[in-house]
Structure 1
Amino acid sequence: MKINRINLISIFSILIFVSFATSTPTPLKRQDQLNGFTQCKGSFANSITVLSYTPNPIVTGQNITVHLAGTATEIIKQGTTIVYTVYFKDEPTKEAFQHKQDFCEVFVKQSGSECPVKKGDYSFTASWLVEKHPDEPKNLVVEYNFNISVFDSDGKVLSCINGSTKFSYS
């Protein structure tokens, strides 16, 4: 009888433990690979699936480091550009500024590769100085809407994402 009682207590203890372990919710934290950005409407040959940048918020007068990754179904050739079109958050149709870079020079070469970039997965990291402008606000953090588009040398949009980010002006 003692053996049965010990077995019964063991089984009961295991059941309580299993019930407790399976009833406790485990929060799943899913990392947003695009940091709040989303693919633009439409169909594009190349996708951007990862966008990260530091510092966040972006600080004028300091370097920014940007990591882009995705999949290219079209070769990225010399002459490809990346264009950041920035809009005021409270006036989404009013352009604040635009910045254009040579994609191969800034992203591909800084990552140790050369253009053309073959079809397939890509991952590039680049850093550059975010210049201060005399007319920028002082001691303020401003949120902007961004459109980031990658164009081939003929002006065809290869990739496009939209989102918002903050700038810190000192």
Structure 2
Amino acid sequence: MNRTSIFIILIFVSFATSNPTPLKRQDQLNGFTQCKGSFANSITLLSYTPNPVVTGQNVTSHLAGTATEIIKQGTTIVYTAYFKDEPTKEAFQHKQDFCEVYVKQSGSECPVKKGDYSFTASWLVEKHPDEPKNLVVEYYFNISVFDSDGKTLSCINGPTKISYS
């Protein structure tokens, strides 16, 4: 090989290795972020299928995080949806018994001890007669977990699409 060939190979190698593309970290919260403030328990993973959520069908949600406060009987999870273009206008709200829906369906019981947790739950997304048809709407959601005294244990915000069939 001549000097020119070696020089071209060295330049190519230096470009190929000088600026590696960083690996893209998967978004464990699917576009959601922790709410402002501090909360005893964190949510570090949220996934759901189908995505978008479809009215009249079951949705399966996987929720994981770390609890520094015990999750007791009477804990609730509240999903509050806001219109994306009007972030202060509430579209709807759905409240569930956290222990009944998430903990029991995952084969555990409340109280849930301090430490890491991972729960999966499924439920039917109700279909109402007055809802739109053949439309996908993106909402801005606040998902909060409350203890039986109303103290917020966890809180995340983010976008979710709902398909009205």
Give me the TM-score of the superposition, normalised by structure 1.
0.88
User: How many Å separate the matches in 2 of 1:35 and 1:141?
Assistant: 18
User: How many Å separate the matches in 1 of 2:83 and 2:72?
Assistant: 32
1:125 and 2:92 aligned: no
Cα shift readout 1:97-151 (whole Å, capped 9, x = no counterpart): 1100000010001111111000001011111111101111000000111110000
User: How many Å separate the matches in 2 of 1:169 and 1:73?
Assistant: 38
The residue matched to 2:37 in structure 1 has which SS?
coil
The residue matched to 1:77 in structure 2 has which SS?
coil
Which region of structure 1 is more displaced relative to structure 2, 40-49 or 16-25? 16-25
Quote the offset at 1:26 in angstroms: 2.8
User: How many Å separate the matches in 2 of 1:89 and 1:35?
Assistant: 16
Aligned-residue Cα RMSD (Å) equals 2.1
The residue matched to 1:135 in structure 2 has which SS?
coil
User: How many Å separate the matches in 2 of 1:123 and 1:61?
Assistant: 26
Closer/same/farther in 2, CA of residues 12 and 70 from structure 1, 3 Å limit: same
User: How many Å separate the matches in 2 of 1:7 and 1:126?
Assistant: 66
Quote the offset at 1:12 in angstroms: 7.3
Match of 2:51 in 1: 56
User: How many Å separate the matches in 2 of 1:139 and 1:10?
Assistant: 61
User: How many Å separate the matches in 2 of 1:47 and 1:109?
Assistant: 20
Q: Give 5+ residue unaligned stretches, structure 1.
A: 1-5
The residue matched to 1:109 in structure 2 has which SS?
helix
Give me the TM-score of the superposition, normalised by structure 2.
0.91
User: How many Å separate the matches in 2 of 1:124 and 1:11?
Assistant: 57
Quote the offset at 1:57 in angstroms: 0.7
The percentage of counterpart residues that share the same residue type is 91
Quote the offset at 1:10 in angstroms: 12
May I ask how many residue pairs the two structures share in their alignment?
Answer: 165
The counterpart of 1:26, out of the listed 9, 21, 24, is: 21
Closer/same/farther in 2, CA of residues 7 and 72 from structure 1, 3 Å limit: farther
Match of 2:137 in 1: 142
The counterpart of 2:68, out of the listed 63, 73, 77, is: 73
Match of 2:102 in 1: 107
User: How many Å separate the matches in 1 of 2:95 and 2:162?
Assistant: 18
User: How many Å separate the matches in 2 of 1:149 and 1:70?
Assistant: 13
Quote the offset at 1:24 in angstroms: 6.0
